[in-house]
Amino acid sequence: MRSANLWVLRRVARFLMQVIKAELRFVKIACYRVELEWKDRRKMIKKMFIYMSLPLTMLAQTAQLQDNTDQPLLTVKQIMSAIITPPTSTIWGAYQLQSDAQWQEVENAALTVIAAGNLLAMGGAGEGEQKTATEADWQTFNRQMISAARQVITAVQLRDEAALSNAGNDALYPPCESCHQVYQTR
Ligand code: HEC
């Protein structure tokens, strides 16, 4: 009688264990499904985020492409080598000018120096170059360079080669030197 009871108990226990195992498996599968769903959802959210931020990044990029013309766009170095150097070699190299076209070339060169001076008054796009341009020395040398270029234009209008040579050597060259002495090595 006792052993029969035990046998029944054992059968019941085994049956219960099987039921619990089956339930557990079911729960595990359910959990796995939820996890998968979350992974998918996270992926979706990521994608949505990327698509939503796309127009914003494009906007930021076009904003960067649009140059802000209130600010200097060239460094001082670029202004020197691209805008100042070519016309000054025209002015300093002017010799035995004959045709109006030759004189006109010198006048255009002087106008280019004035344009560069106009830019230099603002300073350059390089680090700290706008702040440097607020210094009195900088503005003085720059104004001297501009007024020297005006003297060159006057000499051109008079077709006076001696006056042109004086303007080039005695007026235009010194401010270049003075400004470089103070600022070029900084
Ligand atoms: C208001 C100040 C100022 C004046 C005026 C000026 N310069 Fe300069 N220049 C500079 C500074 C500052 C540098 C150094 C830039 C750098 O290396 O970042 C420089 C550099 C140069 C350079 C070297 C560029 C390079 O590629 O390294 C040349 C060439 C030059 N200047 C020519 C001239 C000539 C010619 C004149 C006169 C007609 C002149 N500059 C007048 C400030 C000036």
Residue 2 has pLDDT above 60, yes or no: yes
> Ligand 1 centre from 176 Cα, in Å?
7
Residue 137 CA to residue 184 CA, distance in Å, equals: 13
CA distances from 121 to 124, 133, 136 (A): 9, 6, 11
- Pocket flag, ligand 1, residue 121 (CB < 6 Å): no
Q: Are 183 and 134 in contact (CB under 8 A)?
A: no
> Ligand 1 centre from 160 Cα, in Å?
28
Q: Domain 76-183 classified CATH 1.10.3430?
A: no
User: Of all protein residues, whose CA lies closest to atom 38 belonging to ligand 1?
Assistant: 176
Residue 63 has pLDDT above 80, yes or no: no
Positive or negative: CA dihedral 110, 111, 114, 115:
negative
Positive or negative: CA dihedral 102, 106, 108, 112:
positive
> Of 139, 123, 140, 121, which Cα lies nearest the Cα of 131?
123
- Kindly report the pTM of this predicted structure: 0.73
**What was the pLDDT predicted at 56?**
80
- Pocket flag, ligand 1, residue 119 (CB < 6 Å): no
- Pocket flag, ligand 1, residue 145 (CB < 6 Å): yes
> Ligand 1 centre from 77 Cα, in Å?
6
- Report the first-to-last Cα separation within the chain, whole angstroms: 108
CA distances from 75 to 9, 57, 182 (A): 93, 27, 17
**What was the pLDDT predicted at 65?**
65
Q: For residue range 103-150, what is the model confidence (pLDDT) as tens digits?
A: 999 999 999 999 999 999 999 999 999 999 999 999 999 999 999 999
